[in-house]
Amino acid sequence: MSSPGPAKIPQHVAIIMDGNGRWAKARGLPRLEGHRRGVETVRTVVDAAREIGIRYITLYAFSAENWKRPADEVSGLMGLLDYFLKRELDNLIKNRVRLLTIGRAEALPANVQRELNRVIEATKDFQEWTLVLALNYGSRTEVADAARAYAAAVQAGAEKLADASWENFNRYLYTGAAGIPEPDLLIRTSGEQRVSNFLLLQCAYAEMVFTSVLWPDFGKADLQAAVDEYGRRERRYGLTTEQIKSGPA
């Protein structure tokens, strides 16, 4: 009998954490209670990702569109972010996890920016594990920001228009600029099957796993199940199965 071979572990997993509101509603609790439970899941999942061997984990914590939610929910989410950063600093240092953000962080409340900068600075030398928080993030604003930066580089003579290519443009995306690799696996919880303006270009070849589990209920076993599902998929990048099996040309 042939052995199953080593398990395929995705290097980068991106997660759309959805279902906090429904989790709370089902229990007759305020929406913010769902987000509060969602923060507990964040710690569980970051720890689990490390145990599984996932080097990068990106969490869609606040989208560029989330500002349109009721003011008390927005301020509640900002409060939770501040609380999370204060509480997790020691844990991230202990586990040698680097924190990065993607998105327009400059629009976040000053206290949240201060905490973010503190944690980013304290963890910046860790290389093995990376937690990326997508904050005030949207793919379309990311593309607009990258296009502006690329055009400015062309104007300044640092880039040539004739060299415009995906590889060169990619370096101006938030992820490319920070050296974050493309996600191998995108997970969305709560049964919704949408990408919602999250890492649209970077997920061009990502495997997608949609689970009906609500984010506050998501745990290590659910993450492992998604990783197992990823391991069963064949990533072809436009090639045929035969080409993949015969190895690089």
Phi first, then psi, for residue 60 (nearest 5°) are -80, 90
- Active-site residue, 18 included: yes
Distance, CA of 188 to CA of 194 (rounded, Å): 8
Distance, CA of 66 to CA of 196 (rounded, Å): 11
- Of 66, 111, 168, 197, which residue is the catalytic one? 66
Please report the DSSP string for 15-72 in residue order. Answer: EE---HHHHHHTTT--HHHHHHHHHHHHHHHHHHHHHHT--EEEEEEEETTGGGS-HH
Q: What are the tokens at 71?
A: 């003011």
Give the nearer residue to ligand FPP in terms of CB position, either 138 or 146: 138
Distance, CA of 131 to CA of 102 (rounded, Å): 11
Under rule CB under 6 A, which residues in 114-153 are in contact with ligand FPP? 133
Near ligand FPP by CB under 6 A: residue from 12, 13, 38, 58: 38
**CB 59, min distance to ligand FPP, A:** 6
Assess 61 for contact with ligand FPP (CB under 6 A).
yes
Task: Characterize 35-52 residue by residue with b for buried, 16 or more Cβ atoms within 10 angstroms of its Cβ, and e for exposed.
Answer: bbbbbebbeebbebbbeb
Give the nearer residue to ligand FPP in terms of CB position, either 133 or 208: 133
Near ligand FPP by CB under 6 A: residue from 10, 14, 20, 45: 20
Provide the mask over 197-226, with x wherever binding to ligand FPP is found by CB under 6 A and - wherever it is not: ------------------x-----------
Provide the annotated active-site residues.
Answer: 18, 66
What residues line the site for ligand FPP (CB under 6 A)?
17-22, 35, 38-39, 42, 59, 61, 66, 77, 80-81, 84, 133, 190, 215
